[in-house]
């Protein structure tokens, strides 16, 4: 077993190198022999690409050739990709033939996008970044993969990600996995020089567990991430992208490597609100997915078209709540006598500026609009005192004061996912994965340990069910009914505005949607500090809008109005440059 799997890992490494180098070499050669391109993919929006395709200024093959060339030029500096589709040019040719015959599949016809590598593709490996799953070809596409292909998208690559969506252990850097190493941030693509942290991790965090790096540098038009808590919003924030974390069930999770069905969702990441809205419509099913009962939760808009909600005037009269306590200002509440939370002066300035933009656009800023479960003096009713159980400190027997929902969900849903793979599954259980990892330490399987997998596997799905159900009820009470619902209904709010991705956890545990929009940059000043003489580049800093279940249309409208008023980056190649230049990967 050891020798066989090591060979598979070696084959994966060779395959990635070959798929990036050879496919891009073919594309590069084609471009060298052709005339200068009439259209460039750099900073081009989906609407730009569609117009160019419809106007015969470019073909899908040429779009893919340009994308592959950019991958060949820059991927070794960023590590944004786990696998490149070796058939991308063939698929582009097929989309071009369909277009010539008058058949347009949908809004993404002939446009290259990428998927996180925990989303199943039956013609490419789906690994979750885990060594144990190197070379795994699933027997079926994820529903979201099928929907995107039905919309005409060309899935050009599978993106880098934190291993198994960051539920392997505590302390694993974002966007690291044992199969493919560390991802780097295009806004400062260097490695961390600090003592004790110079293990290859990026100097500027990429966010995780999804990756937005390839979209930020125009390797493709947009990409699909997944989130259990923060894994779309975090990389969108760190890479100056728009991210939509949908209501759980808005997009089918069938065929996606899970953490817990209570919170897992897929969502789009793009360079503009418009592109993210187009992507969300293509990802969502027109009818509930029989393989995911949660997809009955929210009705899709007419024709699954979220662009109909793009309204520059949407902020006029909108009531936007500012949850000051903890998210902006440090607060003493619950069981803590020490203030928790708050912003740095630079972050506070960014949020003050964002609120000023909203006021200028006619929004009514309700300030403060504190979340009741954040300021509650009773520890049993305080969200800040109710964390998710994780790591060795919250192993079984040490987990009375935290929520077991993640570790219970991981045991339940991960084993179910393996069973659905049938004979294609390289392992048959979470127990087998842990044993495999332990046996392959020398190959790098456990660089940061696997304490979260250990905790999950320790769960007894029958004996621990009542505890799980009680904890899930408490999750929903603190985040929804005594949390977001209470303040939004009480203050008649259209949305809550959070700094960067700071509201991700409370919204995710409620299964509620959030849209993040790029807005500013702030100094990259982590602790411990960088060595003397090292000059870190600024970190992107976005603004998040959160609402209650199924409120994506309203959130998208508000986000679009804010984006158009603030204009951090150009939304398309034909527009004037935004306030912040794109990454330096021309």
**DSSP labels, 489-526:** HHTT-SEEEEETTTTHHHHHHTT--EEEEEEEEE----
pLDDT > 80? residue 250: yes
Per-residue pLDDT at 14: 52
pLDDT > 50? residue 194: yes
Query: How confident is residue 175, by pLDDT bands cut at 50, 70 and 90?
Result: very high
Query: How confident is residue 344, by pLDDT bands cut at 50, 70 and 90?
Result: very high
Q: Which residue has the higher pLDDT, 35 or 504?
A: 504
pLDDT > 70? residue 37: no
pLDDT > 90? residue 35: no
Inter-helix orientation angle 2-33/60-78, to 10°: 130
Strand order in the sheet with 364-366: 81-84, 154-159, 112-116, 222-227, 265-270, 242-245, 514-522, 539-546, 495-499, 319-321, 364-366
Contact 423, 138 (CB under 8 A): no
pLDDT in tens, 316-325: 999 999 999 9
Per-residue pLDDT at 17: 58
Q: Which runs of consecutive H residues, i.e. helices, occur in 135-176?
A: 143-150
Query: How confident is residue 2, by pLDDT bands cut at 50, 70 and 90?
Result: very low
Domains (ranges, CATH) in the chain? 2-526+550-566 (3.90.1300.10)
pLDDT > 80? residue 575: no
Per-residue pLDDT at 217: 97
Per-residue pLDDT at 580: 73
Contact 366, 321 (CB under 8 A): yes
Q: Which residue has the higher pLDDT, 377 or 586?
A: 377
Query: From CA 404, how far away is CA 395, in angstroms rounded?
Result: 10
pLDDT > 70? residue 24: no
Task: Give the residue-averaged pLDDT of 96-103.
Answer: 98
For residue 126, what are its two tokens? 């789906």
Query: From CA 273, how far away is CA 519, in angstroms rounded?
Result: 13
Query: From CA 564, how far away is CA 126, in angstroms rounded?
Result: 37
pLDDT in tens, 517-529: 999 999 999 999 9
Q: How many CB atoms lie within 10 A of CB 42?
A: 12
Query: From CA 409, how far away is CA 407, in angstroms rounded?
Result: 5
Share of residues in the chain with pLDDT > 70 (%): 92
Mean pLDDT score across all residues of the chain: 93
Task: Give the residue-averaged pLDDT of 413-429.
Answer: 98
Local structure of residue 11 (DSSP, 8 states): H
What is the per-residue burial (b if ≥16 Cβ within 10 Å, else e) of 55-76? eeebbbbbbbbbbbbbbbebbe
Share of residues in the chain with pLDDT > 90 (%): 90
Q: How many CB atoms lie within 10 A of CB 399?
A: 18
Per-residue pLDDT at 585: 87
Q: How many CB atoms lie within 10 A of CB 302?
A: 7
pLDDT in tens, 81-95: 999 999 999 999 999
Query: How confident is residue 583, by pLDDT bands cut at 50, 70 and 90?
Result: confident
Per-residue pLDDT at 392: 97
pLDDT in tens, 473-514: 999 999 999 999 999 999 999 999 999 999 999 999 999 999
Per-residue pLDDT at 572: 42
Query: From CA 62, how far away is CA 39, in angstroms rounded?
Result: 9
Per-residue pLDDT at 515: 98
Local structure of residue 396 (DSSP, 8 states): T
For residue 35, what are its two tokens? 């005339």
Contacts of 315 (CB under 8 A, 6+ apart): 358, 361, 362, 363, 558, 561, 562, 565
Local structure of residue 422 (DSSP, 8 states): G
Pairing of strands 319-321, 495-499: parallel
Please list the active-site residues: 116, 209, 231
Q: Per-residue DSSP letters for 169-221?
A: -SSPPTTEETTTEE---TTS--B--STTT-SS-BSS---SSS--HHHHTTSSS
Query: From CA 34, how far away is CA 552, in angstroms rounded?
Result: 43
* Vertex 154 angle, CA 298 and 98, to 5°: 100
Per-residue pLDDT at 582: 81
Query: From CA 448, how far away is CA 320, in angstroms rounded?
Result: 41
Local structure of residue 95 (DSSP, 8 states): H
């Amino acid at each position: 077993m050891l020798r066989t799997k090591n060979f598979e890992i070696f084959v994966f490494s060779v395959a990635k190198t070959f798929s990036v180098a050879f496919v891009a070499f073919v594309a590069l050669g084609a471009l060298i022999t052709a005339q200068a391109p009439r259209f460039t993919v750099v900073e081009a929006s989906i609407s730009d690409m569609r117009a160019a395709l419809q106007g015969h200024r470019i073909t899908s093959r040429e779009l893919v050739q340009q994308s592959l060339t950019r991958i060949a030029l820059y991927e070794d500096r960023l590590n944004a990709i786990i696998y490149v589709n070796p058939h991308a040019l063939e698929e582009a040719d097929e989309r071009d033939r369909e277009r010539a015959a008058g058949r347009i599949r949908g809004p993404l016809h002939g446009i290259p996008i990428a998927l996180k590598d925990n989303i199943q593709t039956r013609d490419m490996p789906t690994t979750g970044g885990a060594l144990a799953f190197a070379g795994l070809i699933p027997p079926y596409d994820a529903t979201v993969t099928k929907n995107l292909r039905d919309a005409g998208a060309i899935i050009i690559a599978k993106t880098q990600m934190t291993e198994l969506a960051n539920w392997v252990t505590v302390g694993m850097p974002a966007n690291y996995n044992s199969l493919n190493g560390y991802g780097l941030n295009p806004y400062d693509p260097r490695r961390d020089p600090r003592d004790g942290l110079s293990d290859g991790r990026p100097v500027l965090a990429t966010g995780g567990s999804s990756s937005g790096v390839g979209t930020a540098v125009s390797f493709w038009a947009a990409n699909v991430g997944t989130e259990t808590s923060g894994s779309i919003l975090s990389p969108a924030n760190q890479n100056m992208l728009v991210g939509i974390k949908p209501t759980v069930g808005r997009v089918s999770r069938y065929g996606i490597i899970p953490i817990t069905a209570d919170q897992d969702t897929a969502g789009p990441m793009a360079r503009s609100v418009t592109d993210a809205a187009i992507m969300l419509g293509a990802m969502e099913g027109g009818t509930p997915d029989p393989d995911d009962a949660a997809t009955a939760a929210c009705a899709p808009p007419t024709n699954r078209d979220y662009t109909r909600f793009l309204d520059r005037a949407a902020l006029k009269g909108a009531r936007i709540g500012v949850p000051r306590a903890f998210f902006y200002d440090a607060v003493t509440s619950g069981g803590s006598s020490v203030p928790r939370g708050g912003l740095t002066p630079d972050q506070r300035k960014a949020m003050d500026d964002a609120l000023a933009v909203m006021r200028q656009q006619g929004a009514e800023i309700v300030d403060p609009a504190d979340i009741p479960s954040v300021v509650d003096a009773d520890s049993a009713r305080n969200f800040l005192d109710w964390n998710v159980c994780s790591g060795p400190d919250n192993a079984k027997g040490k987990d009375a004061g935290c929520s077991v929902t993640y570790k219970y969900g991981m045991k339940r849903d991960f084993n179910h996912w393996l069973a659905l793979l049938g004979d294609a599954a390289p392992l048959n259980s979470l127990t087998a994965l842990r044993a495999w990892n332990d046996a392959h330490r020398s190959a790098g399987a456990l660089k940061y340990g696997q304490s979260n997998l250990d905790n999950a596997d320790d769960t007894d799905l029958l004996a621990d069910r009542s505890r799980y159900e009680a904890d899930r009820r408490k999750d929903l009470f603190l985040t929804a009914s005594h949390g977001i619902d209470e303040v939004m209904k009480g203050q008649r709010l259209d949305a809550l505005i959070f700094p960067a991705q700071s509201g991700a956890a409370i919204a995710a545990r409620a299964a509620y949607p959030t849209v993040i929009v790029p807005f500013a940059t702030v100094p990259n000043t982590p602790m411990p500090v960088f060595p003397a003489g090292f000059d870190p580049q600024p970190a992107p800093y976005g603004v998040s809008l959160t609402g209650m279940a199924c409120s994506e249309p309203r959130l998208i409208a508000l986000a679009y109005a804010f984006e158009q008023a603030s204009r951090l980056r150009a939304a398309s190649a034909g527009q004037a440059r935004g306030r912040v230049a794109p990454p330096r990967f021309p």
